[in-house]
A and B are shown apart, each in its own frame.
Chain A
Amino acid sequence: MLRVIGELLRHDRRFLFGFSVLVIYLLIAAASLFCPYNTKAWNVVPRDLPPSWKYPLGTNSMGQDIMWKAMVAVKNSLLLSAIAAVISRVIAIILGLLSGYKGGLFDRVVMTFNDSFIIIPMFPVLILIASILRTSLNITVLGIMIGLFGWAWDARLFRSQILSLKEREFTKTAILSGMKTYRVIVTEHLPYVIPLIMAATINNVIWVIGMEVTLSLLGLSNLSTPTIGTMIYWASQYQAIFREMWNWILTPIALCVVLILGLYMLSTSISEYLDPRTRLQMIKEE
């Protein structure tokens, strides 16, 4: 695993970019724990100040320091994505692997259900749930809710990977040489599946971040908790665009775009690494 990351860092500039973005955001999230203000409270600093030494990104009309609020927002958005990603990973991995290994009727039933989840437009469904839960939505509940609806694509992806692994030469060799099924899965198949799961997880996080931003912009989350989405919500509520307070509205937008680009570069780099032809190219270059 560490070897793979080292190799990718050396050979793929996209991976380097994505990895740096991720590290920087994690550092921002860690630094946000030292936030000197209560980011939920209003009027803790003077309002509508342009960027200065004291307030590097200025302050907003709610009397909050934009830089610190953005840092806490990054932490909360990452936390929410992590919750959602973990939940959807557990469902996707269990269903995908079981379906792939078991096959037969079980596979067909699960995949029919799975495909329905792919086809059904999830955005209105999430809005339905969020609008009912509105008062009790916090980061955890929102994360769980998004996670419960974000597994279908990946379950199918993992299943197809298992199906192809099952048919490969080395699986048959392992089985014929008397290896137990459990050991075949852990020692022979897992090394192939893990990078795939990583790439799929990163893509899922991208989707979750976008969903959080969208739901928050519609006012369907706990608006007093700073996240990337709620920051944009408040900025547009206070007409930051018309008042040309670019430091307020563009900070969360830029944070969101850079994070998503970094994650996307990471995931494409990993998926290309999974393609043996790319790896051959890497060896040739050395």
Chain B
Amino acid sequence: MLKKYLLPRLVQYVTVMLIGITMVFIIPRLLPSDPVEHQLSRMTAQGQYLDPAAVEDLRASLEELYGLKGGILQQYITYWKRLLTGNLGPSFAQFPTPVTQLIRTSLPWTIGLLLTSLLLSWLIGTTLGVVAVTYPNSVFAKVAAVLAMGIRPIPYYIMALVLLILFAFVFPIFPMAGGYSMGARMGFNARFIFSLLRHAFLPVTSMVVLEVGGWFLQMRNVASNVVEEEYVSYAEAMGLSRLKIMLHYITRNAIAPQITGLALNLGFVFGGALITEIAFSYPGMGYLLYSAILAGDYNLIMGINIFSIVGVSTAMLVIDLIYPLLDPRVRYQ
């Protein structure tokens, strides 16, 4: 099992990081735009007067900062050296705050949003999928299928915008933006927690509503194949209760693709979380990314990219490592 299951996954993990991080290194160097010149022209456009010597000085230090000194190979080595020491350079818009520090403050928000919505949508979708298979001719099964199909393909931003218009503007139940109310003091008190939940409600709902459909449909499809297996008919013949068959015979056997799906969808859902945060001005990494775009903070955008590649692939590896514990078929291979 170790050789057949673990090794390929570890190789994949390292490859993903290598390809992803190298991609982030190469892309800006392939494109016909010089970040240093861009930065300099931004500064002069803002009306700062700089004498030529100072400009040269600034250019040299910017090149140093962006890791643009020397040949491409040398640049690549410096780039990795900096990454491995956890140094993503300073942010430009909020100089000299390090990019890592900015990411660290916004990370908990993103993880909270991502985990809550992923967990909720997975649980609800999977449960509903099993129920729909157990009662295939019920009104519920039909309505759920139509709803899942109709809502699932809508882009994250559009869904967020529609919820925002409906439940924050037309019916002002929830706040339009932010992670908690201005007045609430951060800490473990009822008022802060309430405001936290109230602000998180719409972003989480927006993501859950979009993702439930996918989990539901996948579970329904896999489980409806399991239902036709002989051991299910055997269990029925034994006179086991419907609930028992549903839980022990159908769910247990159909759950594996749901977990693999969790790992495969992570990158996509992460992107969705970033978009949702931007739409709700939720103070996570997505919002940080948005402020970086507005400020032209190229170093911060690079940092968020690297961080999301490392984060998503590590999370995937963790799911892959837990997987054999849940699926005995992999364990006894």
Chain A residues at the B interface, C-beta cutoff of 8 Å: 112-113, 115-125, 127-129, 131-133, 135-136, 206, 209-211, 213-214, 217-220, 232, 236, 241-242, 249, 253, 256-257, 260-261, 263-265, 268
Asked if A121 contacts B153 (CB within 8 A), the reply is no
Is B115 an interface residue when CB atoms closer than 8 A count as contact?
A: no
Bound-state Cα–Cα, A265 to B149, Å: 8
In the complex, how many angstroms separate the beta carbon of B96 from the nearest chain A beta carbon?
Answer: 21
Asked if B271 contacts A123 (CB within 8 A), the reply is yes
Is B189 an interface residue when CB atoms closer than 8 A count as contact?
A: no
Asked if B293 contacts A131 (CB within 8 A), the reply is yes
Q: Name B279's closest neighbour in chain A (CB-CB).
A: A217
CB within 8 Å of A: which B151-169 residues: 152-158, 161-162, 164-165, 169
Bound-state Cα–Cα, A253 to B154, Å: 10
Task: From known contacts A116-B20, A213-B155, infer whether A121 and B309 are also in contact, taking CB-CB under 8 Å.
Answer: yes
Task: From known contacts A116-B19, A242-B169, infer whether A127 and B293 are also in contact, taking CB-CB under 8 Å.
Answer: yes
Using Cβ atoms and an 8 Å threshold, which residues of chain B touch A217?
157, 278
Asked if A209 contacts B155 (CB within 8 A), the reply is yes
Q: Name A126's closest neighbour in chain B (CB-CB).
A: B271
Using Cβ atoms and an 8 Å threshold, which residues of chain B touch A119?
16, 20, 264, 266-267, 312-313, 316
Using Cβ atoms and an 8 Å threshold, which residues of chain B touch A268?
149
Bound-state Cα–Cα, A123 to B304, Å: 11
Q: Name B20's closest neighbour in chain A (CB-CB).
A: A120
Asked if B301 contacts A124 (CB within 8 A), the reply is yes
Asked if A214 contacts B155 (CB within 8 A), the reply is yes
Asked if B149 contacts A264 (CB within 8 A), the reply is yes
In order of increasing CB-CB distance, the 9 nearest A-B pairs are: A210-B155, A123-B271, A264-B153, A121-B267, A116-B19, A116-B16, A120-B20, A124-B305, A121-B270
B156's contact among A210, A219, A220, by CB below 8 Å, is which? Answer: A210
Q: Name A121's closest neighbour in chain B (CB-CB).
A: B267
B271's contact among A122, A213, A232, A253, by CB below 8 Å, is which? Answer: A122
Bound-state Cα–Cα, A127 to B286, Å: 11
Using Cβ atoms and an 8 Å threshold, which residues of chain B touch A213?
155, 157-158
Using Cβ atoms and an 8 Å threshold, which residues of chain A touch B164?
241
Q: Name B271's closest neighbour in chain A (CB-CB).
A: A123
Asked if B28 contacts A132 (CB within 8 A), the reply is yes
Asked if B275 contacts A123 (CB within 8 A), the reply is yes
B305's contact among A115, A128, A211, by CB below 8 Å, is which? Answer: A128
Asked if A128 contacts B158 (CB within 8 A), the reply is no
Is B253 an interface residue when CB atoms closer than 8 A count as contact?
A: no
Is B35 an interface residue when CB atoms closer than 8 A count as contact?
A: yes
Asked if B12 contacts A112 (CB within 8 A), the reply is yes
In the complex, how many angstroms separate the beta carbon of B218 from the nearest chain A beta carbon?
Answer: 13
Asked if A124 contacts B169 (CB within 8 A), the reply is no
Asked if A124 contacts B274 (CB within 8 A), the reply is yes
Asked if A257 contacts B149 (CB within 8 A), the reply is no
Using Cβ atoms and an 8 Å threshold, which residues of chain B touch A211?
155
18 pairs from A and B in contact (CB 8 Å cutoff)? A116-B12, A116-B20, A120-B23, A120-B312, A122-B271, A125-B23, A125-B305, A127-B301, A128-B24, A128-B28, A128-B305, A131-B301, A218-B293, A232-B161, A241-B169, A253-B158, A253-B162, A256-B158
Bound-state Cα–Cα, A127 to B161, Å: 20
Q: Name A242's closest neighbour in chain B (CB-CB).
A: B169
Bound-state Cα–Cα, A214 to B268, Å: 14
Bound-state Cα–Cα, A253 to B267, Å: 25
Bound-state Cα–Cα, A132 to B32, Å: 9
Asked if A121 contacts B312 (CB within 8 A), the reply is yes
Using Cβ atoms and an 8 Å threshold, which residues of chain A touch B20?
116, 119-120
In the complex, how many angstroms separate the beta carbon of B297 from the nearest chain A beta carbon?
Answer: 9
Known contacts A119-B266, A128-B301; 7 additional CB pairs below 8 A are A115-B16, A125-B24, A133-B33, A213-B157, A214-B155, A214-B156, A256-B155
Asked if A253 contacts B161 (CB within 8 A), the reply is yes
Using Cβ atoms and an 8 Å threshold, which residues of chain B touch A220?
293
A129's contact among B27, B264, B289, by CB below 8 Å, is which? Answer: B27
Q: Name B296's closest neighbour in chain A (CB-CB).
A: A131
In the complex, how many angstroms separate the beta carbon of A116 from the nearest chain B beta carbon?
Answer: 4
Bound-state Cα–Cα, A146 to B332, Å: 42
A257's contact among B23, B154, B270, B308, by CB below 8 Å, is which? Answer: B154
Asked if A118 contacts B267 (CB within 8 A), the reply is yes
Bound-state Cα–Cα, A119 to B28, Å: 21
Using Cβ atoms and an 8 Å threshold, which residues of chain A touch B298?
131-132
Is B31 an interface residue when CB atoms closer than 8 A count as contact?
A: yes
In the complex, how many angstroms separate the beta carbon of B117 from the nearest chain A beta carbon?
Answer: 16
Most B Cβ at <10 Å: residue of A112, A119, A214, A232:
A119
Bound-state Cα–Cα, A45 to B94, Å: 42
Asked if A115 contacts B155 (CB within 8 A), the reply is no
B19's contact among A113, A133, A232, A260, by CB below 8 Å, is which? Answer: A113
A121's contact among B152, B278, B296, B308, by CB below 8 Å, is which? Answer: B308
Bound-state Cα–Cα, A188 to B169, Å: 57
Using Cβ atoms and an 8 Å threshold, which residues of chain A touch B23?
120, 125
Using Cβ atoms and an 8 Å threshold, which residues of chain A touch B301?
124, 127-128, 131
In the complex, how many angstroms separate the beta carbon of A86 from the nearest chain B beta carbon?
Answer: 21
Using Cβ atoms and an 8 Å threshold, which residues of chain A touch B313?
119-120
Bound-state Cα–Cα, A47 to B31, Å: 40
Q: Name A256's closest neighbour in chain B (CB-CB).
A: B158
Bound-state Cα–Cα, A124 to B152, Å: 22
Using Cβ atoms and an 8 Å threshold, which residues of chain B touch A125?
23-24, 27, 305
Bound-state Cα–Cα, A268 to B308, Å: 31
Using Cβ atoms and an 8 Å threshold, which residues of chain B touch A257?
154, 158
Most A Cβ at <10 Å: residue of B154, B162, B298, B304:
B154
Using Cβ atoms and an 8 Å threshold, which residues of chain A touch B267?
118-122
